[in-house]
Amino acid sequence: MSILLDEHTRVVVQGIGRQGTFHARRNADYGTQIVAGTHPKKAGTTWEELAVPVFATAAEAAEATGANASMILVPAPSAKDAILEAYEAGLELIVCLTEGIPVHDMAVVYNTLYPRQPDGSFAREGRPVLIGPNCPGLISPGKANLGFIPESSTKPGPVGLVSRSGTLTYQIMHELNLAGVGISTCVGIGGDPIIGSNFGDVIPRFAQDPDTEAIVFVGEIGGTEEQRVGEWIHATIPGTPVVAYIAGFTAPPGKQMGHAGAIVREGGDGGETAADKKAALEELGISVGTNPTETAELM
C-alpha cells in the first residue's frame, strides 16, 4: 500500500509548457496515469507529447477523464487561481510544484481549502489534500510519481518519508536505498511559510498505512512544527520506529536559509533552531541524525 498516490491515481496537469511537459513525460514514463492537460487557449487539441486531450479548465478535464488529482506547474502569479480551479473541480489531491507564490496568495488558498472552524482549528476532514507549493511532489515507488523526485533514488519498501527539503529528500532516499531500505511513499511538503500539508497532516496517514512500518521526517530551522508532530508521535504511535533529520545547525538567527520558511526569528520565543528541535525530539524518544548518512543508518 501507499498513501495519497498510487497506480490508480488519474492526473490532470495544469501548466503544459516546457517544464510541465518535461516532468509530466517523466512521470508518465514511470507509470503515472497522466490523463489530461489544461490550457485555455489550447482546449480541444491534443497534448502531443503525452497523447492526451487538452481542456480549458480542470473541471472540464475531471468530468471528461475521471481525473482525481492535479499537478500544477504554472508561473507564480497564476498559481493561486490554478489551485483554486483544481479545488473547485473537486480533485482529491492537488500537488503544486510552483515556487515564489506570494504569501498573501497562499493565505487565500489555505483559508479557502481549509476554512477556520468555531474552535479555531482549520477544517481538514473531507477536504482536498494540497501538497506544496514549492515542493518536489511525491512518489510511491513502483506505482506512481508526481513531480520532480528522481525514481532512481529509491525502490518500494516499508519506510514512509516526508520532508520540507527537496534536495535532502533525494539524498536521504539515496542513502536509504544504499542501505537496502525502500520507501512506501515519499512526500515533499515544501518549505514555504504557508503550505497545504505539514508533518502533522502526512505522518498520521503513514501511521494508518499497514505497509508503512517506519517513518523518516526531514525538518529544518524555523517554526516549531517538528516539535508538535514529535509530541503526536510520542503520544500516539510510540512503538513505531521514527527517525528525524533537521537541516540548518550552522544557520545564524535572522537569515533565511534557502526556503522562505527556513529562518530563525531574532527575538523569537525559541525552539526554532536545529539544536532546539533536535533536543526536543530526542527528549520525546525520537532519534535525530546529524547528517543524511547518519539518518539513514539510524533507520
Active site residues: 259
Collapsing DSSP to helix, strand or coil, 55 comes out as strand
Q: How many CB atoms lie within 10 A of CB 3?
A: 23
Closest CA to 80 of 14, 17, 128, 145: 14
**The C-alpha cell of 163 is what?**
520532508
User: In 89-198, which residue ranges form alpha helices assigned H by DSSP?
Assistant: 103-113, 166-178
* Burial class (CB within 10 angstroms; exposed 0-12, middle 13-18, buried 19+) of 239: exposed
Closest CA to 42 of 61, 24, 66: 61
Name the DSSP letter for residue 254.
T
Collapsing DSSP to helix, strand or coil, 299 comes out as coil
d(CA 80, CA 291): 35
Name the DSSP letter for residue 152.
G
Collapsing DSSP to helix, strand or coil, 287 comes out as strand
Question: Cβ(163)–Cβ(197) under 8 Å?
Answer: no
Count how many residues are written for the chain: 299
d(CA 17, CA 37): 10
Question: Cβ(205)–Cβ(3) under 8 Å?
Answer: yes
- Which amino acid is present at 248? G
User: In 10-152, which residue ranges form alpha helices assigned H by DSSP?
Assistant: 18-30, 58-65, 76-88, 103-113
